[in-house]
Amino acid sequence: MAFNNTIVWLDHTKAQVIHFDKDASDTESFKTHSSHPHPHQKHGDNHVNGDDNTLFHKDIANALTDSQQILVVGPSEEKKVFVTYLTEKMPAIAAKIKAVETVDHPSEGQLLAYAREHFVSSGGMR
């Protein structure tokens, strides 16, 4: 089943991608390729190491190729790093991002409800 709407929740170690419509959904999960599960703190770097981060972001981006509108959320700065990656490397996917918002650590059900409400209230549920 093809879904037009997608929410991406991510932090520096994992991501959850939920493709959905008003009645159904499909979830994919991703983990960073980093061998270091905690963020690096040296030199102001607050996300995983560059190459590992790129692979992580590429995996998530590949899950978004069929999405028509995307909401990116998460508790930290990693969501902004991911959006920057998309803007620079995959601008066609970046153009489908409708919003980037801070969301703590919701359950899958809470995340899906949040995404549906977001797209309905913005008039964009497809």
Show me where the domains of the chain are located: 5-121
Q: What is the mean pLDDT of the chain?
A: 86
**Rg of the chain in Å (alpha carbons):** 14
Spell out, as residue ranges, where the chain has pLDDT lower than 70: 1, 34-52, 123, 125-126
Residue type at position 9: W
Q: Which residue has the tokens 């929740």?
A: 9
pTM, whole model, 2 decimals? Answer: 0.84
Q: Which pLDDT score is estimated for 1?
A: 60
User: Is domain 5-121 in CATH 2.40.50.140, yes or no?
Assistant: no
Residue type at position 116: R
Separation of alpha carbons 45 and 3, rounded Å: 35
